[in-house]
Structure 1
Amino acid sequence: MPTQYQITLCTCPDKNTAEKIAHLLVDDKLAACVNILPGITSVYRWQEQTESAQEYLLLIKANKNSYQAIEMTIKKHHPYELPEIIAVPVESGLPEYLHWIDSCHS
């Protein structure tokens, strides 16, 4: 059964970028909640090199109908040439919490 909820993951290079994007998404009613997880280490391939960076991870909880607007907002305000934007479906959740996500949607 398809779900109407998703969590979008996005890494940011610093706290200011993470907070700015989180506030834009919540203030514009694109996301009900954005958690900012500090102190993650990302190891990745970029331009044929193995890189490592300290980043902040955004966990963006939203209705999947907001995905395109979330993606556009992140791309507009993110400093990376290729930001991580990955959405995963929410298979189940506390019904009251899922209804709350709906109530925050524009």
Structure 2
Amino acid sequence: MPTVYVTAPSDHAEDIAHTLVEERLAACVNRVACESVYRWDGEVFDESEVILLAKTTAERYGELRKRITELHPYDVPCIERFDEDDVLPAYAAWVEGATADGEDEGDGVE
């Protein structure tokens, strides 16, 4: 079960997060404000960004990555996949249900 780490400008992060969850590409997306210092085109930038941590499944990861690339304003967005070695089984079941095709699945764990 992967968690996907993405950084995005503050004015785009909320829309990206909502779209991923609404389209069932992620069960949940955490948003964490941060300050980033990076080099781009020979210049150093210091800007406010948002870290997005998207919880998804291995099966949905390719679609999620493609959708982030479509929605993201950067030419080269940061998209990093972290695979979980140990996940609470009930949580894993919730992520599976929340990212499954179907309207009523994934709204809670029974």
TM-score between the two structures when normalised by the length of structure 2: 0.84
Q: Would you say how many aligned residue pairs link Structure 1 and Structure 2?
A: 100
Question: Given the alignment, which residue of 10, 13, 38 partners 1:18?
Answer: 13
Tell me by how many angstroms 1:93 deviates: 1.6
Task: Name stretches of at least 5 consecutive residues in structure 1 with no aligned partner.
Answer: none
CA RMSD, Structure 1 to Structure 2 (Å): 1.1
Which of these residues, 32, 48, 57, is aligned with residue 42 of structure 2? 48
Percent of aligned pairs with the same residue?
A: 35
Matched residues in 1 for 2:88 and 2:62: separation? 25
Name 1:9's counterpart in structure 2: 5
SS at match of 1:51: strand
Question: Higher relative CO (CA 8 A, sep ≥ 6), structure 1 or 2?
Answer: 1
Q: CA deviation at 1:59?
A: 0.3
Q: CA shift at 1:100, angstroms?
A: 0.5
Structure 2: gaps of 5 or more residues: 101-110
Question: Normalising to structure 1: TM-score of the pair?
Answer: 0.87
